[in-house]
């Protein structure tokens, strides 16, 4: 599957020749006037009724709001600029452009204006020094926009591969916002299923641990962790454990992750994560085992915390069982929270808040029979 947004970012050194227009100034003129360029109506591109040295509607260039378009001056500035000039090309398929509303110059103008400071940041340019001009082309199959970018300070501008990836990411997040919201809603359902299933597995594990049932390998590993934690002198947090105890924790998480329900839901989570990143890159993230996935490192600490709470005698456990179960419940409610954190600054899905006190009270009621037994 091809990435939803295509971005190319060639740059031109001072005096270099371009494939279109010859000089850099010629390229700017070509972008502004070539066949297929959409010419904005007067007032829509700069908020002004006239343009110095330009016949109204003679080209498709636009830039920051309030700035006049003067092609002769732009061409001269680009040609005489002592630093590099970049030409970002943002492209969509015709289908996506029509469906998402990015089939008009005004939408691209608003998008680029809203992200001009973000683009400046990724290019190491002080926003006050940013110079940019763009034009939209109605290509039959791939509508696209050319954006020429440089800095008043020729020594500060640069663009790395990471910068290109970041520009592509936040632009795609805006363009495909509705698509991504749909994915996040589905991902939230998977997250909730995962945390509920993981909670159930931990409940069963804890119940069997009290009975000292060593027939179950998972229970045996949990008991082993309890023994190792008794000998641990420092904080009972995963990062402070010795290597052997960490291996035990990882093994417990791995075994729980291999249960059919958890494995299926983790597969779904991975699929949804891939579907979001495919909007701005052809590369998909590596599928890391749950116990090694840094996005789920809280699960390891959760296992350690539950094991440390359960490190008590059977009589003590009977008296404290309710509080331990409530603690396990509160911990596991947060297990899937990181499932939607695939991309920074992603739009959040509105959810109805759940009162934690009511949740704990309901949790206690649901387990009243077990506690009595």
Q: Find the range with the poorest average confidence among 111-120, 148-157, 268-277.
A: 268-277
Q: Does 329 reside within a domain? A: yes
CA distances (Å), origin 39, targets 31, 59, 75 = 11, 6, 18
Across the range 101-106, mean pLDDT stands at 92
Site of tokens 């020749």: 17
Name the domain boundary from 121, 154, 175: 175
Give pLDDT tens digits for 182-211: 666 666 676 667 666 666 666 666 555 545
pLDDT at 333 over 90: no
Q: Does 187 reside within a domain? A: yes
Residues 170, 40 share a domain: yes
Q: Does 229 reside within a domain? A: yes
Instruction: State residue 310's pLDDT score.
Output: 58
Q: Does 46 reside within a domain? A: yes
Hey, what are 95's tokens? 């289908």
Cα gap 263→258, rounded to integer Å: 6
Residues 185, 169 share a domain: no
The pLDDT-based confidence of 328 (bands split at 50, 70, 90) is very low
Name the domain boundary from 175, 210, 242: 175
pLDDT at 317 over 90: no
pLDDT at 127 over 90: yes
Query: Got the DSSP string for 276-333?
Result: HHTTT-S-------GGG-GGGHHHHHHHHHHHHHT-S-HHHHHHHHHHHHHHHHHHHH
Query: Got the DSSP string for 100-119?
Result: HT-SSHHHHHHHHHHHHHHH
Name the domain boundary from 135, 153, 175: 175
Residues 188, 127 share a domain: no
Higher pLDDT, 197 or 103: 103
Q: Does 1 reside within a domain? A: no
Domain that holds residue 99: 6-175
Higher pLDDT, 309 or 60: 60
Residues 197, 97 share a domain: no
Instruction: State residue 280's pLDDT score.
Output: 61
Percentage of the chain surpassing pLDDT 90? 36
Residues 344, 225 share a domain: yes
Residues 241, 155 share a domain: no
Q: State the maximum Cα–Cα separation within the chain, in Å, rounded to a whole number.
A: 90
Residues 162, 16 share a domain: yes
Instruction: State residue 373's pLDDT score.
Output: 29
Cα gap 36→143, rounded to integer Å: 10
Number of domains in the chain: 2
Hey, what are 120's tokens? 């400046």
CA distances (Å), origin 25, targets 32, 35, 66, 168, 297 = 11, 18, 22, 26, 52
Residues 146, 68 share a domain: yes
Q: Does 320 reside within a domain? A: yes
Residues 231, 361 share a domain: yes
Give the N- to C-terminal CA distance of the chain in Å, as an integer: 55
Give pLDDT tens digits for 4-49: 889 999 999 998 888 776 899 999 999 999 989 998 865 454 444 3
Give the mean pLDDT of the chain.
75
Give pLDDT tens digits for 54-84: 444 579 999 999 898 999 999 999 999 999 9
Across the range 347-359, mean pLDDT stands at 40
User: Which CATH number characterizes residue 38's domain?
Assistant: 3.30.930
Hey, what are 176's tokens? 């495909």
Across the range 239-258, mean pLDDT stands at 89
Residues 290, 199 share a domain: yes
Residues 190, 60 share a domain: no
Across the range 93-103, mean pLDDT stands at 90
Residues 31, 122 share a domain: yes
The whole-model pTM stands at 0.55
């Amino acid at each position: 599957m091809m990435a939803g947004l295509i971005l190319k970012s060639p740059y031109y050194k001072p005096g270099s020749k371009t494939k279109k227009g010859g000089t850099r100034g010629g390229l700017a003129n070509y972008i502004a006037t070539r066949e297929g360029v959409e010419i904005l109506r007067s007032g829509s591109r700069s908020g002004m009724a006239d343009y110095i040295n330009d016949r109204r509607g003679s080209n498709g260039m636009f830039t920051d709001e309030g700035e006049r378009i003067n092609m002769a001056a732009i061409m001269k500035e680009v040609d005489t600029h002592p630093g590099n000039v970049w030409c970002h090309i943002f492209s969509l398929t015709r289908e996506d452009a029509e469906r998402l509303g990015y089939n008009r110059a005004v939408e691209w103008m608003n998008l680029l204006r809203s992200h001009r400071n973000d683009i400046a940041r990724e290019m190491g340019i002080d926003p006050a020094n940013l110079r940019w001009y763009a034009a939209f082309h109605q290509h039959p199959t791939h509508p696209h926009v050319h954006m020429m970018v440089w800095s008043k300070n020729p020594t500060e501008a640069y663009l790395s591969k990471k910068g290109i990836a970041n520009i592509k990411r936040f632009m795609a997040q805006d363009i495909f916002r509705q698509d991504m919201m749909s994915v996040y809603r589905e991902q939230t359902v998977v997250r909730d299923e995962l945390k509920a299933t993981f909670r159930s597995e931990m409940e069963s594990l804890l119940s069997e641990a009290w009975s000292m049932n060593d027939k179950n390998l998972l229970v045996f590993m949990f008991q082993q962790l309890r023994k190792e934690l008794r000998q641990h002198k420092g904080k009972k947090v995963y990062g402070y454990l010795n290597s052997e105890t960490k291996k035990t924790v990882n093994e417990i998480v791995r075994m729980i992750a291999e249960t059919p329900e958890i494995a299926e839901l983790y597969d779904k989570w991975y699929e949804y994560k891939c579907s979001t990143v495919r909007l701005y890159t052809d590369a998909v993230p590596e599928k890391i085992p749950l116990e090694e996935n840094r996005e789920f490192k809280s699960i390891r600490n959760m296992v350690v915390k539950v094991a440390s709470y359960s490190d008590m005698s059977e009589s003590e456990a009977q008296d404290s069982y309710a509080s331990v179960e409530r603690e396990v419940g509160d911990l596991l409610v947060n297990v899937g929270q990181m499932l939607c954190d695939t991309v920074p600054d992603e739009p959040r899905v509105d959810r109805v808040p759940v009162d934690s006190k009511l949740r704990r009270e309901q949790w206690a009621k649901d387990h009243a029979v077990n506690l009595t037994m």
